[in-house]
Chain A
Amino acid sequence: MSSSAATGTYSPAAEAGGKRREKREELRRHLAEDADWPRADNRSFHACREAFLRTGATTAASGSAYAEFGKTKVIVSVFGPRESKKAMMYSDVGRLNCNVSYTTFATPVRGQGTDNKEYSSMLHKALEGAVMLHTFPKTTVDVFALVLESGGSKIL
Chain B
Amino acid sequence: MAAEPAAAASGGIAGEMEVEAYRRLFPLAFLERHLAESVRPDARRLSEARPTTVGIGVVSSAHGSALVRLGETAMLASIKLEVMSPPAESPDEGSVAVEFHMPPICSPLVRPGRPAVAAPVISKALEDVLVSSGMLNLKELCLISGKASWLAYLDIYCLNADGSLFDAALFSSVAAFKHLEIPLVSVGDDGRVFTVGGIEGKTKFELVNREKRKLTLGNIPYSLTCALHKDSVLADPNSEEESIIETSVTIVVDSSDRLVSVQKLGGAVASMGTIKECISLAKERRRMLLEILTGSFETTEVDQTE
Contact = CB atoms under 8 A, between A and B. Distances in A.
A7 to B, nearest CB: 7
A75 B58 CA distance: 14
A148 B59 contact: yes
A75 B159 contact: yes
B183 interface: yes
Interface in B31-84: 59-62, 65, 72, 74, 76, 78, 80-84
A99 interface: yes
A103 B60 CA distance: 13
Contacts of A60: 72, 106-108, 160-162, 239
A132 interface: no
Given A58-B105, A77-B105, A71 B60 contact: yes
Nearest to B97: A7
B227 interface: no
B170 to A, nearest CB: 19
A135 interface: no
Contacts of B153: 104, 110
Given A4-B82, A103-B155, A148-B76, A58 B195 contact: no
Contact of B60 (A8, A15, A149): A149
A101 B82 CA distance: 23
B104 A99 contact: yes
A57 interface: yes
Contacts of A149: 59-61
B193 A15 contact: yes
B124 interface: no
A105 interface: yes
A58 B74 CA distance: 8
Contacts of A108: 61
A10 B82 contact: yes
A125 interface: no
Interface residues of B, number: 43
Contacts of A142: 104, 111
A12 B104 contact: no
Which of B74, B99, B103, B160 has most A Cβ within 10 Å? B103
Q: Which range contains the number of A residues in contact with the other chain?
A: 35 or more
A9 interface: yes
Contacts of A107: 61
Nearest to B84: A9
B72 A59 contact: yes
B85 A8 contact: yes
B103 A105 contact: no
Interface in A1-39: 4, 7-13, 15-16
A71 B60 CA distance: 9
A115 interface: yes
B266 interface: no
B157 interface: yes
A8 B84 contact: yes
B233 interface: no
Interface string A58-72: 111100100000010
B26 interface: no
15 contacts: A9-B82, A9-B151, A10-B192, A15-B195, A16-B195, A59-B160, A64-B105, A75-B159, A77-B104, A99-B104, A103-B103, A110-B153, A142-B111, A144-B103, A146-B159
Given A15-B193, A103-B155, A105-B62, 15 more contacts: A4-B82, A10-B192, A12-B193, A12-B194, A12-B195, A13-B194, A57-B160, A71-B60, A77-B106, A99-B112, A103-B157, A104-B153, A104-B155, A110-B153, A149-B60
